[in-house]
Amino acid sequence: MPKSRFLLRALRAAARLAMWSAMGAAVLPLDGCAVAALPCRLTSMTLKILPVVGHVAATPFDACAAAID
């Protein structure tokens, strides 16, 4: 295996490790309920980006997150 391929694999592995470490650090301070409500909140925030129907479509997901909290 050429040296450049090995270096590229090592850089990708390091980037993957950094990404997962950052995700873990972001979730670590959350309580158990907040972690459970995270998918509802992320879906709600993503839907709210849509003009006109975004807020209406996100209402059930907001209710889901509120019920979990």
More confident position, 35 or 67: 67
**Does the global pTM surpass 0.85?**
no
Q: What was the pLDDT predicted at 25?
A: 81
**What pLDDT digit, counting tens, does each position of 4-29 carry?**
888 888 889 999 999 988 888 877 77
Give the rounded percent of residues in the chain with a pLDDT score beyond 70. Answer: 94
Using alpha carbons, select from 14, 8, 63, 6 the residue that is nearest to residue 40. 63
Domain boundaries, the chain: 1-30, 31-69
Q: What was the pLDDT predicted at 2?
A: 59
Token pair 């490790």 is found at: 17
The full 3-state SS of the chain, as one line of letters, equals: CCHHHHHHHHHHHHHHHHHHHHHHHHHCCCCHHHHHHHHHHHHHHHHCCCCCCHHHHHHHHHHHHHHHC
